[in-house]
Amino acid sequence: MQRWRVRIAVRSTDPHRARFVFSGGAVHGPVPEAQMMANYAVHHLGVPVHNVVVEDQSRTTVENVVNSVPLMTDSPAIKIASNTFHARRARQILRDESPELAARLVRARDYVLMEWGPLHAGLVAFERYRDRRARVAAAG
């Protein structure tokens, strides 16, 4: 999943001109997700190391956004690279946390037809379930 997010980020902008903020702590092992994504971007996709920033303390999507805000204050455009529904959720969190930065949001190329095949339908269903569950919890 993380490599896919990195590929979305790289195909969504010029890797030699953009700054890439990779966010995510050590969730499923000793190496932070952000570091794994940064390594993949630099060593496999040709992103210059000086264009990479790592935020490795976050453990949730909210923390990813909140902890990344200070790293993006001077960015002219902000793209969130993830699956379509997760990116939508992260963009909403950014709107809530920093409306000024959210005004600079630009959609990433997060969906390419048939890229994930039937798995995409599963991801869509899962994200809709999570959205519905969050709305019910907030209402009650």
Q: Can you list the domains of the chain with their CATH numbers?
A: 2-112 (3.40.50.620)
d(CA 108, CA 123): 17
What string of DSSP letters covers 12-54? Answer: TS-TTTS-EEEE---SSSSS-HHHHHHHHHHHHH---GGGEEE
pTM of the predicted protein model: 0.78
Mean pLDDT, the chain, rounded, equals 89
Tell me what the mean pLDDT of segment 107-122 comes to. Answer: 68
At 127 the pLDDT is 73
Amino acid at the residue 73: T
Alpha-carbon Rg of the chain, whole angstroms? 15
Copy the structure tokens of residue 25. 């702590």
What is the tens place of the pLDDT at every residue in 10-49? 999 999 999 999 999 998 889 999 999 999 999 999 999 9
d(CA 76, CA 90): 18
> Beta-strand (E) ranges in 3-137?
20-23, 52-55
Tell me what the mean pLDDT of segment 87-104 comes to. Answer: 95
Three-state SS at 34: helix
